[in-house]
Amino acid sequence: MKKLNNKHLAWGIRIIVSILFILSAVAKLYPSPLMGISSFEAKYLGAIGIDGDLSKIVSRFLIGVEFSLGILILLPFYLKKLVIPATIFLLSAFSIHLFVQVLGGDASNCGCFGELIPMTPLQALVKNILSIGLLALCLTVLRSELEDRNNIHPVAYTGLIIGLFMFVLLPQGSNSFSGEDLKADESIYSKYYPNISKGNKIICFFSPTCEHCMATGKELHELTEKYPGLMPEIKILFMDESDNGSKDEIAAFFKFVGKPSDYKVLSIEEFIPIFWGNKNFPGVRYSSHGAERIFFDGTEDNEFNASRLLKEIRREN
């Protein structure tokens, strides 16, 4: 009776972990494969410095690994030697990153389940620790209940087929412009703001829930309050994160900033080609009569700098 209960317990743990991994992979493709994976690349991989073409490879590889482990943990092949240890290793790697976020006080959506099931880093860390504990139980107390056939072919074929399927289902395309496009980049913004090439303009590229974007928006608003005759018009292009115009998020954004600005909301598919190719949130572009003077992006070397912006603006006045 005890042996039967242990067998059921081992299967229960495998099923739970399988569901978590498959759900995690599927959630990153929500609400549609292209929108989901683009959002995952932009909001979560970009936040840890993985961007551009590398983010396209990493995102598809990671989702493929999650799908593969979710399936393989239910199969009786190399469970003890490879599949369960690999699952524990992946969860541990994620947990280290989550632990750093928790220490930094980050309470935003960690992206483990994409936009489908928002989770804070702390919630995700607890989930991972519990999962690691359950899998460790399988490798120790319940080890004898695991059927483990030494046949590597099903493991290799599953990983290979799912990995290839991810790259076929979600072709990488390109997020960067050709030389010809770059020469005509003004027409890209004129599509949204016809007068963008007249006079001095600031156009911002924001995600409405990005904390750095909110801080930059607030700083720009404070500059307009402090230098009303100097600061140019501010236009904003928001990336639509919720597939419904992100109305609530944008309202919260402007409430934090202190004043609304002229803005447009772009779908992820439309937003990425005009910004995300080589840049990170938040983006602030200052132009004079259509000519780009300075383009801030990201939160590191080229992050928004109010003093540098004012210096460029004064140069034109």
Q: Are residues 129 and 218 in the same domain?
A: no
Residue 66 belongs to some domain of the structure: yes
Last residue of a domain, one of 150, 169, 188: 169
Residue 174 belongs to some domain of the structure: no
User: Residue 274's domain is classified under what CATH number?
Assistant: 3.40.30.10
Phi, psi torsion values for 298, nearest 5 degrees: 80, -170
Helix ranges, the chain (H)? 2-27, 33-39, 52-72, 84-103, 121-139, 152-169, 179-183, 185-190, 211-226, 247-257, 268-271, 306-315
Q: Are residues 142 and 199 in the same domain?
A: no
Q: Are residues 244 and 136 in the same domain?
A: no
- Over its length of 317 residues, how does the chain's per-residue pLDDT go in tens digits? 566 688 999 999 999 999 999 999 999 887 667 667 777 776 677 667 676 677 778 888 999 999 999 999 999 999 999 999 999 999 999 999 999 989 988 887 888 888 788 889 999 999 999 999 999 999 999 999 998 899 988 888 888 888 777 776 665 543 333 333 333 344 578 888 888 888 889 999 998 888 899 999 999 999 999 998 899 989 999 988 665 556 788 889 999 999 888 999 988 767 877 776 567 789 999 988 878 889 998 887 889 999 999 998 988 66
Q: Which domain holds residue 299?
A: 179-315
Last residue of a domain, one of 169, 187, 218: 169
Q: Are residues 139 and 233 in the same domain?
A: no
Q: Are residues 209 and 144 in the same domain?
A: no
- Any bridge partners for residue 236, and if so which? 204, 263
Last residue of a domain, one of 134, 169, 204: 169
Q: Are residues 67 and 208 in the same domain?
A: no
How far, in Å, CA of 73 to CA of 185, rounded?
A: 49
User: Does the predicted TM-score (pTM) go above 0.85?
Assistant: no
Q: Are residues 42 and 8 in the same domain?
A: yes
Q: Are residues 134 and 199 in the same domain?
A: no
223, 306 in Cβ contact below 8 A? yes
Residue 193 belongs to some domain of the structure: yes
287 sits in which H/E element: strand 283-288
The candidate with the shortest Cα–Cα distance to 42, out of 224, 298, 257, 306, is: 298
Q: Considering its fold, how many domains does the chain have in total?
A: 2
